[in-house]
Structure 1
């Protein structure tokens, strides 16, 4: 591209110089020739007037007297009737420029100038024009190189940026070149890089969330299947199989929710549901794991509560809190349900050391963990809670108390009002 720009610019300059240069040479040649002819004629007129004056005054007319009146490069011939011709200067050889004038006293004055003087002046003019043209060509080449670099270098940078995007490096460069068209391309590439970065981040986040949220249901399902393989009691097998089917349904719900909300977590469809059923389901799923760890999980608080949200999402939030207590807490884990104004609250606490003071304000950030875990469980749980219009908070650091706040169901409030009226 650089070579093309330089060649095209140089070609344009050469064409301009050729057109205007030839025209200028022709004009200057004619101007110099005309000017020389006018000078010779002017000198012939001046010399004629001097001779007329001397003839009228009967003064002496000799070559010595008139020599100072004629330019040294010119030749003058003065012919006076009745006198010998007077020659001033050296008669030029070859082609000459000549002017002849007749005076009032009958004299004839002829002035000649060698045409070589005109030719020399024309050549000097041609050399000046050629020098200017050479400088113009050099300036054009330098300007073309500068413009070629100014245009080619940004294009090379933009090509490298596009290549980086294609190779999976979506970092925007935020580099501009002072050329509106190229800056527009750079803006588009940077915007594309940012969109690709967001898409990659979303995909990685989806993969991390999926691995985290699917691990718990799969672990619980694996425990149920192990219970089935270790017992011969048909009633126990039936009970465990029923629970396993419930866990499969929950696993399916988790997958569907991940696929639906992978781009925007605030797309959940909240409904009124029985909170006791969700809590009971979590207790049944996690008791075997706590029993294996020599710990207990219990439930207390107000019963028969109706909440507004997505049952599957609430179950995932509780599962994240219960798993967090199993991994990082100690002693008995307690789930307590209560009512706070127009909200239903589920508190999860244990008897462990609690949340370190330096992690407390950042406990819900991704990649923040007190131990060697993924650090995304609580972050995912908070996202799920907020998607249903609720919130997840750390109410107390030591001992740890997490609170899930959900809107209470209007139907539940109406039933409470009916009970108070009947009483």
Structure 2
């Protein structure tokens, strides 16, 4: 592209120089020739006027006097009737420019100048014109190179940006070049880079979330299937298989929920559901793991509450909190349900050391963890809660108390009492 810009610019300059240069040469040549002819004619008139004045006054007419009075620098020949021709200067050889003038006494003055003088003057003019043309060509080449670099370098840079996007590096460069068209292309590429970065971030986040959220349910399902394989009683097999199918349905719901949340975290499919059923299912699913760790998980608080949300998402939030207490907490884990205003609240607490003071404000951020875990679970749980219009908060750091707030469905005549009933 650089070569094309330089060649095209140089071609335009050469055409312009050729057109105007040839015209200028013709005009200057004619001007110099006309000026030389006028000068010769003027000198002839001056000499003939001197000769006339001397003849009228009876003064002698000779070459020295005429040369002194006229200041002639060219060859002049004076023809006076009845006298010998008078010559001033040296007669030129070759082609000449001739000027002729006649006086009142019949005298004739002929002034001649070699045409080589005019040719030399034309040559000097052509040399000046050629030098100016060469200077114009050099300036045009320099400007063409600068303009070519100004246009080609941004295009090369934009091509490198597009290549980086294609190779998976979506960082926008935010470079502008002072050319509106190129800046527009740069704006589009930067916007595309930002969109690709968001898409890649969402994909990586989905992969991390899915890996984290499916790990424990898959382990539980595997253990359940092992129990099915080892069971001899048909009723036990049917019961375990039914539980396993229920877990598969929950896994399907988890995957669907993660995909929906990855596309648009604000998208929800909230319905009214029974909180007790979700809590009971989570306790049953996590009880074997807690027994293996020599710990217990209990439920207390208000019963028969109905909340508005997505049961699968609420189950995953509770699973994240229960798993967090299993990994980082200690003693008995308690799930307490209560009502505050128009919200249903599920609190998850344990008897462990709690959340370190330096992590309290950042506990729901991704990659923030008090130990060697991924730091994803609580962040995913918060996103799932917010997608259903709820919220997840850390109410107390020591001992730790996490609370899930959900909109409550109030039913008339739901005479459930406030008494606490532990479930083990």
Tell which deviates more after alignment, 124-133 or 230-239: 230-239
Q: Distance in 2 between matches of 1:284 and 1:418?
A: 23
Could you tell me whether the CA contact under 8 Å between 1:37 and 1:97 is conserved in 2?
yes
Q: Distance in 1 between matches of 2:383 and 2:216?
A: 17
Could you tell me whether the CA contact under 8 Å between 1:299 and 1:336 is conserved in 2?
yes
State the Cα deviation string for residues 283-316 of structure 1 (Å, max 9, x = none): 1111011111110000000001011111111001
Q: Distance in 1 between matches of 2:246 and 2:225?
A: 13
State the Cα deviation string for residues 97-126 of structure 1 (Å, max 9, x = none): 111111122221111111111000000001
Q: Which 4+ residue blocks in structure 1 deviate beyond 6 angstroms? A: none
Aligned position for 2:223: 223
Deviation at 1:174, TM superposition (A): 1.3
RMSD: 1.7
Q: Distance in 1 between matches of 2:203 and 2:416?
A: 49
Superposed counterparts of 1:25-174, under 5 Å: 25-70=25-70, 73-174=73-174
Residue 229 to residue 291, structure 1, CA distance change in 2 (3 Å): farther
Aligned position for 1:337: 337
Tell which deviates more after alignment, 258-267 or 314-323: 258-267
> Which secondary structure does the structure 2 equivalent of 1:395 belong to?
strand
Q: Distance in 2 between matches of 1:69 and 1:196?
A: 96
Could you tell me whether the CA contact under 8 Å between 1:79 and 1:109 is conserved in 2?
yes
Could you tell me whether the CA contact under 8 Å between 1:269 and 1:310 is conserved in 2?
yes
Q: Distance in 2 between matches of 1:331 and 1:105?
A: 147
State the Cα deviation string for residues 46-102 of structure 1 (Å, max 9, x = none): 222222222222223221111134555411111222222211111111111111111
State the Cα deviation string for residues 386-412 of structure 1 (Å, max 9, x = none): 0010000000011100000001114x3
Q: Which runs of 5+ in 1 are unaligned?
A: none
State the Cα deviation string for residues 188-233 of structure 1 (Å, max 9, x = none): 1111111111111111011111111111221221232233345445
Aligned position for 1:180: 180
Aligned position for 2:294: 294
Tell which deviates more after alignment, 374-383 or 65-74: 65-74
Q: Distance in 1 between matches of 2:326 and 2:227?
A: 20
State the Cα deviation string for residues 316-347 of structure 1 (Å, max 9, x = none): 10000001101111100000000011111000
Could you tell me whether the CA contact under 8 Å between 2:303 and 2:416 is conserved in 1?
no
Deviation at 1:23, TM superposition (A): 1.3
Aligned position for 1:415: 413
Q: Distance in 2 between matches of 1:286 and 1:8?
A: 78
Question: What TM-score do the two structures reach when normalised by structure 2?
Answer: 0.94
Q: Distance in 2 between matches of 1:398 and 1:320?
A: 19
State the Cα deviation string for residues 348-367 of structure 1 (Å, max 9, x = none): 00001111111111100111
> Which secondary structure does the structure 1 equivalent of 2:413 belong to?
helix
Question: What TM-score do the two structures reach when normalised by structure 1?
Answer: 0.95
Q: Distance in 1 between matches of 2:288 and 2:229?
A: 15
State the Cα deviation string for residues 16-69 of structure 1 (Å, max 9, x = none): 212211111111111100110111111112222222222222223221111134
Aligned position for 2:241: 241
Count of residue pairs brought into register by the alignment: 417
Residue 54 to residue 415, structure 1, CA distance change in 2 (3 Å): farther
Aligned position for 1:3: 3
Residue 37 to residue 408, structure 1, CA distance change in 2 (3 Å): same
Superposed counterparts of 1:259-274, under 5 Å: 259-274=259-274
Aligned position for 1:305: 305
Aligned position for 2:396: 396
